[in-house]
Structure 1
Amino acid sequence: MNIKVVGIDIAKSVFQVCVLLHDNKVAWNRKITRSDLMTKLTQLPENTLIAMEACASSHHWARQMKQHGFEVMLIPAQFVKPFVGHQKNDANDARAICEASQRPDVHPVQVKTIEQQDIKALRNVRQRLVDNRIALVNQSRAMAAEYGVIFPKHVTKFQELLPLAIEDASNQLSHIMRRLLLENYDELRQLNRDIQQVEHDLIELCKTNHRFKALQEVPGFGPIISSALISELGTGKQFTNGRQFSAWCGLVPKQHSSGGKSCLKGITK
């Protein structure tokens, strides 16, 4: 079988697999269960190109397929959508993935290592904890304001002044409100401990990565930003030059030109 590319539309239980030949004819396009996927794929020739959307669990499957000698290409979802063409269903999505993989202007996503995904998982947990802390502080400030007690916006100052306000008998806080604020304060302290633990685990994990040490030498780069770049970029070889990396980060303006008139959004004259 002269296979050009195999496109897989990933799902939780049932995957859609489309096999496209070099004459651009579809050999078959069928559903395969999760448990049978790797068994079916190992029947294909080695070095077969397998394309998937860069979505949930795609990096896991990409690592599995690479171990079996396949060439794997992860495509950003926005490059697949234009090739669906007809009604959206699993079969059309899998065929669209095959088509998108052949376009020269598609920049594939680098497959993440286990270390990168560990770092990303720690970052995601930390971000959730930080968001919960901000929400808790905002709620406490809003509740206290209804009793005429005003706290500053900064989290550190809030944590310093909250116990004093709870103990101050001269303000208008009721007994119930003092109890609620005290419970929020205890929860806030626990969130701080959880955030510190995650940050510690994150730094310890990144210490073994030489790129982490190099990024730390860049002015303004702390452990959080450095670990974010490691988890998202990996080696960075997916970018041809520095401008591509800047565009990926959103540091360069977007172009919106027509009729020979060049317009870069974000640039003020």
Structure 2
Amino acid sequence: MTGSTAVHRALDCVDEERAAVEKRDAAFEAFARRVREVPAKSPAAARSQQAVAATPTMATTVQTGRSTATGDRCVTVREAFAETVRPHSIADCETDESLTETIAAELSEDIAVALASETGWTPPLKRAVLETVETRRTEVDVVQQTLRNERETLEDALDEIDEILAWLQSMADESLLQRDFETLRENHDRLAAYRDRLETLTADRQAQFTRSTNRYGPGGTRYRTLVESVYSDCSVRYPLLSSATRLYGICGDCQRTVRAHLTRRV
């Protein structure tokens, strides 16, 4: 019976999500590294460069060269995003999404428009991109920690569940008719204790759902929201609660059966 509950299967879901989140974080790190390598030029520097031009023709050439160079750098940044972050961002998308739409979703609409217009890769734009990436990586760090907490919760719950399942299996291997009154009474008490532990497990899980994923104080995403996202493709929406509730019912049925045998022995 052990290894067959929804909680056991939920561990696989958590591990898969953790792997995906780690890849997303690595993608943002790679993107930030490539962004830092793209030099930015302020409009003031460009105007100074234009002012030293000896003739109007030279001035036009300088201005055109500046626009082309900074525009190309915007293209470089867009290409870096497309090769690093975008594959992980659209992995679960059911419809086609343009590169600009993905950049807007991950970095902001303002940054997406600025990069798409190719009007200039300036220090403020570069700084805005890097600051937004840092914000996203902080969010990823919170998700990673939450997933670690979720796995620990599942492992602790499995210690309880596997113990109860193993005892129920051993109990099923022997007929109740072969047990004396004292043994039956001990079985009844043990089942009552298991039900109490499962009630506590369920209550603790419900309380966990109301907490925030923000470890620095109020705010953040509800723990329930993240759990629902992790198990969205599973057959059971709340695997831990489902397994605990089902096992609680099984223990109750067994307890009633044992009680019936006890009353016939009195």
TM-score, structure 1 as length reference: 0.29
Structure number with bigger Rg = 2
Q: Which has the higher strand share?
A: 1
